[in-house]
Amino acid sequence: MKTYPIETIVSLARSLSPYYKELYRDVPEKGWQLKDLPPVVQKDFWEYNSLANNRLLTGEMHDGIIFKSGGTTGKPKFSVYSREEWETMTGTFGLHLAEGKLETGDRIANLFYAGELYSSFLFLHDSLQRCPVNVMLFPISGAAPMEFISREMKDFRINTLLGVPTQLINLAEYIRNKGITGLSIEKLYFGGETMYEDQRALMQEVFPGIRIFSVGYASVDGGLLGFIDEECGFNEHRVFDGYNIIEIVDEESGEPIDEPGKEGRILTTNLSRLLMPIIRYPAGDKGIWIEEVGSRNRKFRILGRSEEGARIGVVTMYVDNFHNILHKMQDIFHAVNFQMVIDHIGKLDKLTLRIALDDPSHAEKTWEDHLLATIYAERPELEEEVAIHGVHPVSIEWISPEQLEANPRTGKIKRIIDNRFK
């Protein structure tokens, strides 16, 4: 498993990637520290990472694997890993899966989604293949019919489920409603989104005595972010020492936060990726340190989404996505500003878009219809999740500018309000 010194990664990135060359134009060649490097701005990062005339990558894509990483129709966002980088990523994750209470002989149903350039199924499959604990894998996929999944669980005495919470909840409700018995489920590993207390309660009801764990913290674009061990609590993970560098920085000043308990946004620097460098890249979440500086594989807790994007179920709606959508609405209505509010209601996530107008009393029903149609056209995966009851339908709220929630200290409008962890 190959990793590199941060100095090597930065030197290569600024010499071969036009994006990083521009980003670091004011950074001296030597004598800098990580905190001296400007953080990645996601909007610029993805504009440079285009399919044609790419100005982000440090070389040609000639081996390895490519995944979709969200994005608007016509402008797909993709992440690429060389073969060696993918093997390092899955090997590292697989090694640490052994610390997450996997046991020899576990029979694991992989219910993550495969195909259409999704990464989760292949990522977990390859990671488990490289895990030092001897387990048996059942590559079922989340798209399989519930009848098939439940039958295979029973026939093969599967004892461990692996998938996204919304799919696992749908499976549990199917099993409960059908009165299926004789299952052997003992453990569940979730990923892609948080599993909330109401969802955990349902899983405990359907599978009495089940133990529930995060499979780990990762993203298609950022790569590996954190792993769990037996000391990790709800939404807590540990840094992959030697593989990545996790920073928590103040959202206003950008200064690194070292003390435990102080909230900031999470940045990640990957130490194995050269083709598509990830250096001080926003993970999209807020977090706090749980342990003191210098702790081995220092533990941190995820607190919810930061300003980069709203994660609703398994779908991310980026702030710049919605900026573009509102721009398309200018001939219908003019938005002064907006906020994205995320709630968790009845076991499902819900996105409410608060649109500020000069006079919200003039808002018409047709405006909402046009806006929702455009949102679902731009992010069809969001509409698909609504259709399968993976998330609630998107709601529109027309408000006046003064009703937008702002940071009480700076007066800055909060672009994303995540109520799920309050």
The DSSP annotation for 128-174 comes to: HHT-SS--EEE---TTS-HHHHHHHHHHTT--EEEE-HHHHHHHHHH
Model confidence at 74: pLDDT above 50: no
| Count of structural domains within the chain | 3
Model confidence at 411: pLDDT above 70: no
- Tell me, yes or no, whether 363 lies in a domain: yes
Residues 348 and 165: their CA atoms lie apart, in Å, by 9
Q: Are residues 185 and 106 in the same domain?
A: yes
Q: Are residues 93 and 187 in the same domain?
A: yes
Give percent of the chain above pLDDT 90. 64
pLDDT tens sequence across 147-201: 999 999 999 999 999 998 878 988 998 999 999 999 999 999 999 878 888 889 8
Q: Are residues 350 and 293 in the same domain?
A: no
Task: For residue 306, name the pLDDT band (cuts at 50, 70, 90).
Answer: low
Residue type, 73: T
Q: Are residues 318 and 397 in the same domain?
A: yes
Where is pLDDT greater, at 128 or 70? 128
Among 253, 283, 305, the domain boundary falls at 305
Where is pLDDT greater, at 397 or 165? 397
Output the pLDDT for position 28. Answer: 95
pLDDT tens sequence across 351-385: 999 998 888 988 998 999 999 999 998 888 899 98
Task: For residue 407, name the pLDDT band (cuts at 50, 70, 90).
Answer: low
Count of residues for the chain?
A: 422
Q: Are residues 299 and 365 in the same domain?
A: no
Task: For residue 79, name the pLDDT band (cuts at 50, 70, 90).
Answer: very high
- DSSP designation for 38: P
Give the SS3 label for residue 176: helix
- Tell me, yes or no, whether 283 lies in a domain: yes
Output the pLDDT for position 157. Answer: 97
pLDDT tens sequence across 317-358: 877 778 778 888 888 998 888 899 999 998 899 999 999 888
Among 214, 240, 270, the domain boundary falls at 214
Q: Are residues 331 and 381 in the same domain?
A: yes
Among 281, 305, 329, the domain boundary falls at 305
Find the angle CA(37)-CA(272)-CA(247) to the nearest 5 degrees.
40
Of 118-132, 176-190, 311-325, 383-397, the least confident: 311-325
User: Domain residues for 345?
Assistant: 309-418
Burial of 173 (0-12, 13-18, 19+ CB in 10 A): middle
Q: Are residues 191 and 97 in the same domain?
A: yes
- DSSP designation for 227: B
Q: Buried (b) or exposed (e) across 13-42, using 16+ Cβ within 10 A?
A: bbeebebbeebbeeeeeeeeeeeebebbeb
CATH of the domain at 328: 3.30.300.30
- Tell me, yes or no, whether 1 lies in a domain: no
Q: Comparing C-alpha atoms, which of 313, 305, 365 is closest to residue 339? A: 305
Q: Are residues 399 and 333 in the same domain?
A: yes
Q: Are residues 70 and 19 in the same domain?
A: yes
CATH of the domain at 59: 3.40.50.12780
Residues 398 and 392: their CA atoms lie apart, in Å, by 19
Q: Are residues 254 and 267 in the same domain?
A: yes
